[in-house]
Every structure is written in structure tokens, then in C-alpha cells.
């Protein structure tokens, strides 16, 4: 229990302590009434069960409770500003367990003599909660003095718990649920400063319509760790906290280039005069740059304060009408209402991921690059979940948990990694620029030139090889559209790991050829290990190890070249076996997207059509000859050919609903119109091309011809030999 106001900080409380440690909570009058219904209550309980099923020994953070501390010397009292719906539901859950499963929760609820939740100027709500605790049957009685919303919430909770546990649905036992709920489920209590205008704060929180997000909790806890540092250098601590706030706020704007988050002078010091480099080599150097800038700004402000009014007027940039009209040497300022291209408030792009997932991506980079990690198994040093539901847990494990040592040092290293990774992410990872149509991925670098900020293709075109920028955009797009969910973007983490490691080795940034070679090597390794070499489909595949096995080898070799593919699988593969292995239902969307990249690179595509290619995240694997055709006149000698790789294509889901069961010629007519504007599947493009060459008949010969053409591309790219037994 916390009584002294000055000692109140962000704290994590397990549900037992939240409900029974003596602290009292009051819902103020300005809060709305209890309003949770079936969806919210069921979601809360199921989230707890899901967390238990993932790992019953790990802490699960349920959310936040923003409070104003009204404690005095005799009682700890917190006014609930945000989180009252969750707190009320947890209180109702404790009441339910108290009545129905006392044998499993008595040890946790010994001090639960009465709910510690109160309501300001709401006697009906207070009366209802107290009555439910003392006599559960009271909620069956229609009484005008009771709060019906709380009664309804308790009814929903009761039915949900009975459905999940009393009917033996095989989820978890009620004993396990109680143990996990009271011991491992935690909520973050975040007090606002004493001088806070509560009415204004509540209005802001209410307009947001959501709870304090998990990444905001992490920021508060990181600040708390730095504040509690034993260092006697208070000035350094203050600058660390200020720098943390700057980095966090800047990097959280995922749709902005990170350079825009800094003042003009500091931007040039951190990112160089042209904004295209990341100058500091470690956190101490970054902090030194930041501290010097703060001191310079403070000195400048003091100097400005000492000026007389006439000096301030004289120092203003003023241009006479005579100079504007007749002095050619005078630069006339542009209209401030008209923003230049590259202006901070005007330019934005669509990011692949959101900030919570980016934090996990960076934490994974940090854990890999930091040899002083406290993880017990060094072989698992780079394993950080990319599931944002695990955000607080992962940060607890690596940076802010009770078992982590040298927290301040590790937090500082993480902050440096966060800023540097955001810079690399902005410069070298695909994005959608707002100047282009939706779906047009770009790879552009922010450059500050004499004429002002501008965006340029990051990798210059190689006159002796492929267009590096376009190749990187196409290959990254293939990865992205194959795994659109945020928690599956391990390819992105492999890129960030590579960029982070390699960037410091060159004064001129990342070499486009080597980056493309590295990314191409990841794609090859993924294809070979996951889709070609593995013939036993009964064993589960591990996407994480597929990507990072190659990356770890790359790091250990201390080399910028990718591994040669022959080491990954036997040299010779039978044609028929490969066709079956990549056929329905085994094949994965990545195979099609990787093949599209190969077709785009070497597949003899018309120049104009090549420019139209835009990989789509809405792809669906379908049969060119349908499994259940509308018309039964397909001339195929053997229906088994329908499931071969040569008869499979990736089509847009919007068109899929219209043409899925049509014969190939009807599909072609649809796509002839669609392909006039953009092409989202080059394999389908090649299938239609083959169909035309066979007089619009899609038969065994056409399927085999197309399949052979596709396998030829795989042979060259993967350094394998596909043997056709029929021709021997």
C-alpha cells in the first residue's frame, strides 16, 4: 500500500494486490456509468485464458489504470481517471469467484471483505456492488434502487464463466484460472502529477476513446528506471530522460521520416548536413551531442532575454518595399502558408508496421546486438516475440523487469538502437508515399539539398546490372505481401539486423548490391528449406528458424555475401516430385510472390507490363481450371493435373469471388481488362500468355509447358537441377 504522495510512481500490481492490499479506488462523478457488455467482458476473460495457454508462468499485462492520488496519512485513495470499466469488471469477477469457487480463490481473497471500489455521488452503484458481494441472489430481484448496468454486467460475466468452465469445455481448470489471474495477471497503475487539471485531462482521455497504450506504459517505466538511477550526475540523468522522451515521441510517428522530429540544429548534428547519415556511434556520443545542443539553446535563450526591445526589432528579418522591387541581391522569402515539398507537416508515408510492433522489432535487434543480455540461454539471445500482445512481457524480460541487471545501461543502448533503427527503416525499407496511388511501394531516401528536403530513390541504378532500387522494392514487396500480419514479419527483422550491423562498416551507408544479395539469399534459403527441401509435410515448419538460421550464419561468417544455396539441399530434384510438392494444398503464397519476383527480374516481360506490376496483399491461391467449374466441358485428360503447380495461380480476392469457378478463357477475359491498369500476379500473366499460345485451350500440354518455364526460373535462381524422368 502506498500512502506518501511523493513516492507514488508507475507500478505494476497483480490482481490480488489490486483488489485486496488496502488501497481504495473511487469512480468520480464526471465518469460515465458502467457500460461494458458481452463483447468486452468475454474478450477480457478469453484474453486471460489465452495468456495462460501461451505461458502459465509468464506475467500478463491486462492494461492500465490512470489515477489521481488522493491519499492521506491514514488511507491510500486513488481517483480513477481512466480504466474504470476494466477495474469494475475485475471487481465483479472477484465477486463471482468469491461466491462460486471460494475453495480455489480464498487464499487470494482473504482480505476481500468488501470491494475496494467506490462511486462518488452514485448511491445506486455503490449499493448494487455491495449487495452483490453480500448476497449474489439479489441480482435476480428487480429493484429500482440498483444499478441495472452493473447487474447486466454481472449476469454476462456469470454466463461466460459457466460456459468456459462449468461445462468442461477443455480450456483450463478453474483452479488454474484463479492461480493465474491473481498471481500472474497484472495491471499498470499510472498516477498523474498532483498539479494536473483533472477535468481537462479526463476530457482529453475521453475524446481519445481508448486506454493508455502499452508502449506509453513502457515509456513511463523506462523513465522511472532512469529517474531512480543511483548516479550522482543529476544533470546527465535529466538529459537522459529528456532524450528518451524525444526519441520515443519521434520514433512513434511511424508515418514520418525520423529526421523531422529534431530541431534544425540538432538534426544536422545527428543526421549530418544532408540528413542522409547517422553520425553517433553509441549512446554516449548521442547524449553528448544532445547535451551540447541543449546548452547552446539555453545560452541562446538567455542572450535573447537580455536584448532590449529595440535590439529585438532590429534583429528581425525585414525587407523594405524598395529592396523587394529594385534590389536583385535580396532573397524574397516564400509565402509561409505554402509549404515546400518535404515540409515536416506535409510529407508522410504509409509504414509497413505500427509503433508497438516496431518496438518489438528493435528489441529483437537490441537483444541480438547486446552481448550483455541477461537471458539464461545465450543461444536464444535474439528470440523476441513479434506479437504486440507480448509487448510488456518482452520489455520486462529484457529491459525493465525485476530480474534484469544494469537496467540503465541497457535502456540507453536500446534508445540508441531505437533511433538508429528508425533511421535505417525510413531509408532502406519499402513504404507507400502519399504522392503515389495506394499499393505503389517505394524506396526513397530523405535528402537535404540546397533547394530544400527532397526524396530520391535510395539505390542508384547500376548500368551493368539490374535496377537496384526497383529490385529491392519488388523483393521486399514479395516478402511483405506474403506475411501481411504484423507478428509474422521476421523477414523485416532480418533486414533491420543486417542494416544495423553493416551500416557502421561503411562511410557511405548501405551498398545496394550487397543489400539485395543479402535479401535475395534470405529468400532463397526460405524457399529451399521450407518449400523444396522438406518433403515430410507432417512436421511443423518454423518460420523463425528459417530466416534467422541464415542470418546467424551470416553474422558468424562476418561476411556480406550470402551463403551458397547448394549447401542447403541435394543438387537434383525430380520434376514430378517438385510439381506435387508445390501443388495444392501444400503450396504457400510466398512461392508465388517469389516466382513473381523472378519473372519480373528475368521472365521476358514487356517493358510496359513490367512497370504495371504491383504485388497485392489480397492474393488468393486458386485453380486456373476450377475444381468445381460452372461449365462441365473442360477437356482435361486427367483431373489430377488440376492440383499441379502449373494450374495454380495467385489472383486478387475481389476478382476471385467473380471468376473462381469460371473456365480459364473466362478468367482471361476478366484479366485482360484488369491488366490494362495494373498487374498483381506475373505468374498468372504468364499463364494467360501460355493459354494464348495454345489457341485459348488450357490442357495438359499448356499446364506442363507453363510449369516447365516456372521451374526453369527456380533452377537458375536456387542453383538446383530439376530432372524430368519422362525425357530420360
Asked if the model's pLDDT at residue 373 lies above 80, the reply is no
Closest CA to 395 of 184, 221, 191, 212: 221
* Residues 117 and 88: beta-carbon distance below 8 Å: yes
* Residues 60 and 48: beta-carbon distance below 8 Å: yes
pLDDT band at 310 (very low <50, low <70, confident <90, very high): low
Instruction: Give residue-wise pLDDT tens across range 473-521.
Output: 889 988 888 877 787 788 898 899 889 988 875 555 788 888 888 888 8
Residue 142 shares a structural domain with residue 94: yes
Q: Is 62 helix (H, G, I), strand (E, B) or coil?
A: strand
DSSP string, 316-335: S----HHHHHH-TTPPPPPP
Residue 178 shares a structural domain with residue 237: no
Q: For residue 222, tell me if it sits in a domain.
A: yes
pLDDT band at 699 (very low <50, low <70, confident <90, very high): confident
Closest CA to 276 of 413, 157, 446: 446
Q: What percent of the chain has pLDDT over 70?
A: 72
Residue 52 shares a structural domain with residue 195: yes
pTM comes to: 0.69
Residue 217 shares a structural domain with residue 202: no
Q: For residue 16, tell me if it sits in a domain.
A: yes
Residue 200 shares a structural domain with residue 293: no
Instruction: Report the DSSP pairing between strands 185-191 and 60-69.
Output: parallel
Mean pLDDT of 191-215: 62
Q: For residue 528, tell me if it sits in a domain.
A: no
Q: For residue 227, tell me if it sits in a domain.
A: yes
Predicted local distance difference test score (pLDDT) of residue 247: 95
Final residue of a domain: which of 173, 188, 211?
A: 211
Predicted local distance difference test score (pLDDT) of residue 3: 37
Residues in contact with 167: Cβ distance below 8 Å, sequence separation at least 6, in sequence order: none
State which H helix or E strand residue 161 sits in: helix 148-161
* Residues 159 and 31: beta-carbon distance below 8 Å: no
Final residue of a domain: which of 485, 501, 517?
A: 501
Residue 145 shares a structural domain with residue 278: no
Closest CA to 371 of 409, 419, 340: 409
Q: For residue 569, tell me if it sits in a domain.
A: no
CA distance 564 to 561: 9
Instruction: Give residue-wise pLDDT tens across range 404-448.
Output: 888 999 999 999 999 999 999 999 999 886 655 555 788 888 888
Closest CA to 400 of 385, 386, 415, 387: 415
Instruction: Give residue-wise pLDDT tens across range 677-696.
Output: 778 788 888 888 888 888 88
Q: Which residue reads 454466463 in cell numbers? A: 159
* Residues 70 and 404: beta-carbon distance below 8 Å: no
Final residue of a domain: which of 501, 520, 549?
A: 501
Residue 147 shares a structural domain with residue 291: no
DSSP string, 260-285: GGS-HHHHHHHH-TTS-----SSHHH
| Owning domain of residue 694 | 581-727
Mean pLDDT of 393-404: 86
Name beta bridge partners: 441: 432
Q: What is the mean pLDDT of the chain?
A: 77
In 598-694, where do the E strands start and end? 619-623, 648-652
Residue 189 shares a structural domain with residue 221: no
Residue 246 shares a structural domain with residue 354: yes
Closest CA to 646 of 597, 684, 672: 684
Q: For residue 327, tell me if it sits in a domain.
A: no
Residue 261 shares a structural domain with residue 367: yes
Instruction: Give residue-wise pLDDT tens across range 565-576.
Output: 344 455 677 777
Q: For residue 542, tell me if it sits in a domain.
A: no
Residue 127 shares a structural domain with residue 248: no
Extract the C-alpha cell encoding 273: 548536413
Residue 201 shares a structural domain with residue 280: no
**How many structural domains comprise the chain?**
3
φ and ψ of 382, to 5 deg: -100, 5
Q: Which residue reads 477437356 in cell numbers? A: 635
Maximum C-alpha span of the chain:
96
Predicted local distance difference test score (pLDDT) of residue 360: 95
What would the 3-class secondary structure string for 363-417 be?
Answer: HHHHHHHCCCCCCCCHHHCCCCCCCHHHHHHHHHHHHHCCCCCCHHHHHHHHHHH
N-terminal to C-terminal alpha carbon distance within the chain: 82
Q: Which residue reads 497483480 in cell numbers? A: 14
Q: For residue 484, tell me if it sits in a domain.
A: yes
CA distance 62 to 90: 10
Extract the C-alpha cell encoding 274: 544532408
Range name among 371-385, 487-501, 593-607 with the lowest pLDDT average? 371-385
Predicted local distance difference test score (pLDDT) of residue 380: 44
CA distance 348 to 394: 30
Amino acid at each position: 500500500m502506498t500512502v506518501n504522495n511523493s513516492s507514488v510512481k508507475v507500478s505494476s500490481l497483480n490482481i490480488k494486490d489490486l483488489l485486496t492490499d488496502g488501497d481504495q479506488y473511487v469512480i468520480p462523478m464526471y465518469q460515465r456509468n458502467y457500460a461494458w457488455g458481452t463483447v468486452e467482458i468475454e474478450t477480457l476473460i478469453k484474453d486471460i485464458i489465452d495468456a495462460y495457454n501461451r505461458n502459465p508462468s509468464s506475467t500478463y499485462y491486462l492494461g492500465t489504470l490512470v489515477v489521481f492520488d488522493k491519499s492521506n496519512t491514514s488511507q491510500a485513495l486513488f481517483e480513477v481517471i481512466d480504466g474504470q470499466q476494466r477495474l469494475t469488471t475485475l471487481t465483479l469477477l472477484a465477486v463471482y469467484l468469491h461466491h462460486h469457487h471460494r475453495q480455489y480463490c480464498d487464499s487470494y481473497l482473504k482480505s476481500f471483505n468488501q470491494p475496494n471500489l467506490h462511486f462518488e455521488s452514485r448511491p445506486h452503484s455503490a449499493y448494487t456492488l455491495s449487495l452483490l458481494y453480500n448476497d449474489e441472489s439479489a441480482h435476480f430481484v428487480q429493484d429500482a434502487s440498483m444499478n441495472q448496468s452493473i447487474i447486466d454486467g454481472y449476469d454476462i460475466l456469470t454466463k461466460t464463466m459457466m460456459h468456459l468452465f462449468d461445462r468442461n469445455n477443455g480450456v483450463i481448470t478453474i483452479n488454474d484460472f484463479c492461480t493465474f489471474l491473481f498471481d500472474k495477471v497484472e495491471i499498470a497503475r499510472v498516477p498523474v502529477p498532483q498539479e494536473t487539471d483533472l477535468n481537462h485531462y479526463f476530457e482529453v482521455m475521453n475524446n481519445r476513446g481508448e486506454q493508455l497504450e502499452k508502449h506509453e506504459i513502457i515509456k513511463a517505466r523506462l523513465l522511472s528506471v532512469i529517474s531512480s538511477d543511483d548516479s550522482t550526475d543529476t544533470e546527465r540523468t535529466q538529459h537522459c530522460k529528456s532524450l528518451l522522451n524525444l526519441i520515443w515521441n519521434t520514433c512513434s510517428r511511424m508515418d514520418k521520416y525520423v529526421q523531422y522530429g529534431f530541431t534544425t540544429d540538432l538534426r544536422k548534428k545527428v543526421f549530418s548536413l544532408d540528413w542522409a547519415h547517422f553520425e553517433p556511434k553509441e549512446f554516449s556520443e548521442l547524449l553528448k551531442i544532445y547535451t551540447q545542443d541543449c546548452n547552446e539553446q539555453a545560452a541562446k535563450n538567455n542572450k535573447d532575454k537580455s536584448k532590449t526591445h529595440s535590439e529585438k526589432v532590429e534583429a528581425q528579418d525585414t525587407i523594405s518595399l524598395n529592396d523587394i522591387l529594385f534590389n536583385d541581391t535580396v532573397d524574397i522569402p516564400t509565402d509561409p502558408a505554402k509549404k515546400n515539398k518535404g515540409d515536416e507537416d506535409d510529407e508522410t508515408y504509409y509504414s509497413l508496421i505500427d509503433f508497438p510492433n516496431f518496438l518489438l522489432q528493435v528489441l529483437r535487434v537490441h537483444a541480438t546486438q547486446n552481448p550483455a543480455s541477461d537471458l539464461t540461454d545465450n543461444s536464444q539471445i535474439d528470440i523476441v516475440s513479434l506479437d504486440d500482445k507480448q509487448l510488456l512481457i518482452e520489455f520486462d524480460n529484457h529491459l525493465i523487469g525485476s530480474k534484469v541487471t544494469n537496467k540503465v545501461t541497457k535502456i540507453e543502448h536500446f534508445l540508441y538502437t531505437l533511433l538508429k533503427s528508425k533511421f535505417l527503416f525510413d531509408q532502406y525499407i519499402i513504404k507507400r508515399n502519399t504522392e503515389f496511388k495506394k499499393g505503389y511501394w517505394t524506396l526513397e531516401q530523405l535528402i537535404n539539398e540546397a533547394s530544400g528536403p527532397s526524396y530520391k530513390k535510395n539505390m542508384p541504378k547500376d548500368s551493368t546490372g539490374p535496377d537496384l532500387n526497383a529490385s529491392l522494392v519488388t523483393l521486399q514487396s514479395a516478402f511483405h505481401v506474403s506475411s501481411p500480419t504484423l507478428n509474422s514479419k521476421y523477414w523485416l527483422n532480418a533486414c533491420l539486423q543486417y542494416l544495423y550491423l553493416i551500416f557502421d562498416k561503411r562511410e557511405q551507408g548501405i551498398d545496394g548490391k550487397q543489400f539485395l544479395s543479402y535479401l535475395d539469399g534470405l529468400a532463397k534459403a526460405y524457399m529451399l528449406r521450407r518449400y523444396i527441401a522438406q518433403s515430410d509435410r507432417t512436421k511443423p515448419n518454423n518460420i523463425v528458424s528459417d530466416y534467422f538460421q541464415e542470418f546467424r550464419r551470416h553474422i558468424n561468417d562476418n561476411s556480406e555475401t550470402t551463403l551458397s544455396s547448394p549447401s542447403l539441399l541435394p543438387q537434383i530434384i525430380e520434376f514430378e516430385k517438385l510439381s506435387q510438392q508445390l501443388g495444392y494444398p501444400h503450396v504457400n503464397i510466398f512461392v508465388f510472390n517469389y516466382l513473381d519476383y523472378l519473372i519480373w527480374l528475368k521472365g521476358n516481360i514487356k517493358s510496359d507490363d513490367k512497370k504495371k506490376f504491383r504485388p497485392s496483399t489480397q492474393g488468393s491461391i486458386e485453380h486456373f481450371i476450377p475444381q468445381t467449374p460452372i461449365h462441365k466441358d473442360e477437356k482435361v485428360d486427367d483431373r489430377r493435373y488440376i492440383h499441379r503447380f502449373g494450374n495454380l495461380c495467385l489472383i486478387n480476392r475481389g476478382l476471385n469471388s467473380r471468376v473462381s469457378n469460371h473456365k480459364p478463357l473466362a478468367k482471361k477475359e476478366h484479366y485482360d481488362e484488369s491488366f490494362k491498369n495494373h498487374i498483381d500476379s506475373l505468374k498468372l500473366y504468364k499463364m494467360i500468355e501460355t493459354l494464348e499460345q495454345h489457341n485459348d485451350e488450357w490442357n495438359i500440354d499448356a499446364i506442363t509447358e507453363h510449369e516447365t518455364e516456372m521451374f526453369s526460373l527456380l533452377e537458375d535462381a536456387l542453383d538446383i537441377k530439376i530432372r524430368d524422368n519422362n525425357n530420360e
